[in-house]
Amino acid sequence: MNIVMFGPPGSGKGTQAKILEVKRGLPQLSTGDMLRAAIAAGTELGKKCREIMDAGELVPDDVVIGIIAERYDLPDCDKGAVFDGFPRTIPQARALDSMLKMRSRKIDLVIELKVNDAVLIDRVKQRIKESGGVGRADDTPETLQNRLTVYYQNTAPLLEYYKRQGKLVTVDGMAPIEAVTTAIAAIIDQAERKG
């Protein structure tokens, strides 16, 4: 099964994707994590993306499409994967659809975590506090504002794209983590029963 975890920054996509990886054996494919790893390793890709990410802007579509395709072809994705932070634009969603089609696969479910902006801002402030100043370079109040703007401009239109495909399911992302996990499990179980 191939699942897209969808939502704004701080909505809990990563947390829930990690839980799915452990419980269902579906690898979490986080483009944000892959790009941060490239920065940490000092690769050319990392150098190219660092400033863009620090500003809370999107790295070019071809860059993330390339790294996702390469990662998806590793054997641990044989049974599918959970996409976390990808796709973020319509061209990325189209590229993902055609990449999967070429492999006789498809996106089965898109799970949207719905969270109000005020709650997102509070969560990221909390994450900054907990990291003691050595957390993510893009976790600053100013950059978060830009990441939210970018989300509503470029990424939110994907909701309509997936709704039209009949794949979108929305979950209350403001509920406690365990309640969100339970809601997601029920959605996946139901989709599996339908085949």
Contact footprint for ligand AMP (CB under 6 A): 9, 31-32, 35, 52-53, 56-59, 64, 85-88, 92, 138, 147
Q: Note if 125 is an active site residue.
A: no
**Distance in Å, CB of 96 to ligand AMP, minimum:** 10
**Distance in Å, CB of 40 to ligand AMP, minimum:** 13
Catalytic residue, chosen from 105, 127, 163, 167, is 127
Distance, CA of 26 to CA of 82 (rounded, Å): 6
Nearer to ligand AMP, 25 or 60 (CB): 60
Q: Tell me how far CA of residue 126 lies from CA of 10, 15, 114, 122, 178, in angstroms.
A: 10, 15, 19, 6, 19
Nearer to ligand AMP, 51 or 192 (CB): 51
Catalytic residue, chosen from 94, 125, 136, 167, is 136
Q: Note if 127 is an active site residue.
A: yes
Nearer to ligand AMP, 59 or 107 (CB): 59
Q: Residues with catalytic annotation?
A: 13, 88, 127, 136, 147
